[in-house]
Amino acid sequence: MIGRLPLDEQLAALKSALARNEVLVEVLNRTAGLGLPNWYVTAGCLFQTVWNVVTDRRPTSGIKDYDVFYFDDRDLSWEAEDAVIKAVGEAFTGLPAEVEVRNEARVHLWYEQKFGVACAPHVSTEAAIDSFASTTCCLGVRLEWGGRWRVYAPHGLSDVFNLVVRPNPVLAPREVYEAKTARWQQQWPELTVLGWPSESAVQAPSPS
């Protein structure tokens, strides 16, 4: 089982699995040339590619879009982010997939209106990835100098390879987690989805 391998072997297996998604590889390559600060390709296009490879599906099966996060707190206006969105749109012309780009420095400006809970300003793209509804989703990849893959996976990779979806009750509300997991289970019925913890468990202080 890949999820039980040493971490360096898991990283090699992750790169091997993701490289089978030619659309994802193209997104990584094109984004690397845009010069976006602190960028990652992240979210569903990564862990769902792994799920597809593990379950012998086409690598692109069921992937809705490809998310590109970056962090730029020098200008928090919508106009500045929109300029980047338009530039990215031009860079991905002809790609057979939808690419969504977001400045994670601006998330706190719209998050509460969309999801009903307040979001403190993120301090980095990594911090934004940390707040995903499931720890299994907390994964980001980018290409650095010389084509080196930089992988951000604060909760490791075992759950990704083992098809386990684990809640991450730090920001996103329970209904977001349950809506996402219900949709994912329809596409990947092999998943093991763990339940949202009780309110007392979420609020309980860690032992000193």
Q: Could you report the per-residue pLDDT of 2-58, keeping only the tens digit for each?
A: 656 667 788 899 999 999 999 999 999 999 999 999 999 999 999 999 999 999 999
Alpha-carbon distance values, 34 to 40, 51, 131, 145, 156 (Å): 12, 28, 25, 13, 28
Question: Residue 44 phi/psi, 5° resolution?
Answer: -55, -35
Give the number of C-alpha atoms closer than 13 A to the C-alpha of residue 162, restricted to the C-beta side.
15
Q: Mean pLDDT throughout 141-162?
A: 92
pLDDT confidence tier of residue 199, bands split at 50, 70 and 90: low
Retrieve residue 154's tokens: 């604060």
Gyration radius (Cα) of the chain, Å: 17
42: closest CA among 86, 99, 95, 87? 99
Amino acid found at 59: P
Distance CA 104, CA 113 (A): 16
- pLDDT at residue 133 in the model: 95
Q: For residues 40 and 71, is the Cβ–Cβ distance under 8 A?
A: no
Helices (H) and strands (E) in the chain, counts: 9, 7
Structure confidence at residue 3 (pLDDT) = 57
pLDDT > 60? residue 203: no
pLDDT reported for residue 63: 94
Instruction: Summarize pLDDT for 97-140 with one digit per residue, the tens.
Output: 999 999 999 999 999 999 888 999 999 999 999 999 999 999 99
> Tokens standing for 191?
């998943």
What pLDDT is attached to residue 208?
Answer: 39
